[in-house]
Structure 1
Amino acid sequence: MNALIIEDEKLVAQELAASIAEVDATINLVGTVGSVKTALTWFSEHAEPDVIFADIQLADGVSFTIFSKYQISCPVIFTTAYNEYAIQAFKVNGIDYLLKPVDHDELKQAIGKARKFAKPMAHTGLDVQKLMDALNLPSPFKPTFKEHFLGSARNSWVPIKISEIAYFVRDQLIFLVTNTGERYILDYDSLDEIEQLLDPSIFYRASRQCIIHINAVHTLKGLANLKLQLVLKAPNKSFGIDISRDKAPTFRKWLEK
């Protein structure tokens, strides 16, 4: 049985994958996606799996958006932190669910249920709006963006608010740098992945190696080749960023929003 995990917290996704393998070694994990956008891309390029494990609230929206755009016929097991009273809405739609942290016995039962109903199963009839209303969630068609990142420094994990971030940079690893100059390692594979989680009105992909927060910008200097040299506010002034000739016009418009 092939399985897909939809989960925006990498560590949680890894733990769930390990638990699934421990409970049922015959399940083949065909992919893990961390956002609505990447999930939609995945479904456009791959065959439907036999079962989906999906978090509800993702960094760029809710997973119901995915099921409202793709006619999914396989069982969907939601992994969520919502309490048991709110989650009763799922029973109306015949959806199984697991409360976080996932219990191994409950996971085993959910997988057993998924095997019984794996293809064909009419999960395409999800009443998305009913689920949204019951859980008091925002519209699945209105994008939401990440509010915190979990950074690692000195063997500790620190939650960092979006408003505290000056820029993201790739330097072998992915780093987050705060307005006060503190530097944290992020557990992401690429800046592309991070860019999908950010509000484009306040973050700009200045280069392949860097994403900056609009409030971190101090000044711009024009260069002879029509490039722009971006200077950040203290204490991050030493981090030099050149905006390419192609990006310069759109970058100026972004600053003037």
Structure 2
Amino acid sequence: MRALIVDDERLARKELMKLLEDHSAIEVVGEAQNADEAFEMIETLNPDLLFLDIQMPGKTGFQLLEMLDSVPLVVFTTAYDEYALKAFDVSALDYLLKPIQPERLSETIQKILQKEKEKKEIIANGDKKLGLNDQVFVKDGDRCWFVSLSNVRMFESDGNYIKVYFDTNKPMIHKSLNALDEKLDERAFFRASRKHIVNLSWVEGIEPWFNGGLMVRLRGGDKVEVSRRQAAKFKDMMSL
């Protein structure tokens, strides 16, 4: 797996690189000292894994994740105990407390390899659309989540924000629905109207609606209206 180390402390980066030499399954493809530098490297190198410091000058590790459209596997590295619980709150794969112990790193590597086995390998292109196997980072106030797009049943526009529906959560992210629609794989997500994008794998029922439109029922009970303009395209996609 191709890994990027993100840490503002040079000695911390070098120490982790040294420890990773004992784990041939992990290839360190780069190191970054801040979030902005890491963002550029992630866009260029497309790593499978981030070893990510949380507290850095400028943007934090969490703010870096908010900048990404699709988030690789993440292992937080931190010297602060108070951040450990937050790392689990956002469903990170693992966290490593500095100074990193070789035995603890070995445990983390095993989790990484197991996760990689479970995940279908995807060859990423620069213009790859986001599909059901991708995960995104969502932050709303003090709460954070890593969310697999397969678990997101729909997106709803709300002014300059988008409400993301997954599990019992509906956090808001600052992004336009048009911008999001351009990044999502249209084979998995459908623009039902100017206000909604639905995950096609969550569609449970369809019925005729007013003015030639459709009403879509999603697993869990949510209902979304498909505009008349989009109804014909939706019927074709769903083979009605």
TM-score (norm. length: structure 2): 0.49
The higher relative CO (CA closer than 8 Å, separation ≥ 6) is in 1
TM-score, with length taken from structure 1:
0.46
